[in-house]
Amino acid sequence: MRKTNSVVPEVRQEFLAKQCLQVRDLTGSVAEIGVYKGGTAQILADYLPMKLIHLFDTFEGMPPTNPEFDIHEPGDFADTSLEAVQALLKDRDNVEFWPGWFPESAEGLTDLRFCLVHVDVDIYESTKAAIELFWPRLVEGGIMVFDDYNAPRCPGTNKAVDEYFDTWQSIEVSGPNKRYGTRCVKNEVRDGEV
């Protein structure tokens, strides 16, 4: 795997790359919610050049957070910009940027289906919104990766994932190591999903 500028540890970068290889032959696009400086977006774009990669971020730092569930504060991760990430990914023609507050920034996605969604938002409300928007649009066999699951500084991520998937019997959950990060594989499409 080529070097990226990601702050995500190498073991989780490799885990994400493996997920890319698993979905190569599935239909659907790819989304990343929480792009920051674009390191993991590089992995998605490089490993899935045949897929359109939708990148969602404020590119201005963390949105409002809930101190009951979240340790991060508004404005954390503000040391990035849309222009910097666009410059990093300028040679990749398979990326589309959706700047702004999520999920409002995703209003144009109503008919799209996805095979892989990488969620790296660190906080409860954004994780919950990502699951609610993308899980119903995930194709059978599609994967959602939650980079911050079990991360000590991201308890809101666990809360959102555990609440949503508590009723799902037909998903596969696994992670890159015993520390943190996980994926959920969609093994069936329920009635009423896109």
Which residue range is the domain that position 172 belongs to? 10-186
CA-CA distances (angstroms) from residue 168 to 36, 122, 184? 30, 22, 10
Name the residue among 130, 37, 44 with its Cα closest to residue 77: 37
**Is the confidence at residue 157, as pLDDT, over 80?**
yes
23-43 pLDDT tens trace:
999 999 999 999 999 999 999
Residue 130, in any domain of the structure: yes
**Is the confidence at residue 171, as pLDDT, over 80?**
no
Name the residue among 60, 13, 76 with its Cα closest to residue 40: 13
Residue 92, in any domain of the structure: yes
Name the residue among 80, 94, 81, 82 with its Cα closest to residue 43: 94
Q: For position 180, what pLDDT does the model report? A: 62
Q: For position 75, what pLDDT does the model report? A: 84
Residue 194, in any domain of the structure: no
Q: Is 33 helix (H, G, I), strand (E, B) or coil?
A: strand
**Is the confidence at residue 179, as pLDDT, over 70?**
no
Residue 1, in any domain of the structure: no
Residue, of 176 and 154, whose pLDDT is higher: 154
How many structural domains are present in the chain?
Answer: 1
39-75 pLDDT tens trace:
999 999 999 999 999 999 999 998 888 888 888 888 8
Q: For position 176, what pLDDT does the model report? A: 61
Residue 5, in any domain of the structure: no
Residue 100, in any domain of the structure: yes
Residue 139, in any domain of the structure: yes
Residue 68, in any domain of the structure: yes
Tell me the CATH number at 46. 3.40.50.150
Q: How confident is the model at residue 182 (pLDDT cuts 50, 70, 90)?
A: confident
Determine the Cα–Cα distance for residues 161 and 36; give it in Å rounded to an integer: 21
Determine the Cα–Cα distance for residues 12 and 67; give it in Å rounded to an integer: 27
Q: How confident is the model at residue 194 (pLDDT cuts 50, 70, 90)?
A: low
Average pLDDT over residues 182-189: 77
Determine the angle formed by the axes of helices 39-47 and 10-23, rounding to 10 degrees: 30
- This prediction's pTM: 0.90
- For the beta carbon of residue 101, count every other beta carbon within 10 angstroms: 15
Q: How confident is the model at residue 94 (pLDDT cuts 50, 70, 90)?
A: very high
Q: For position 40, what pLDDT does the model report? A: 94
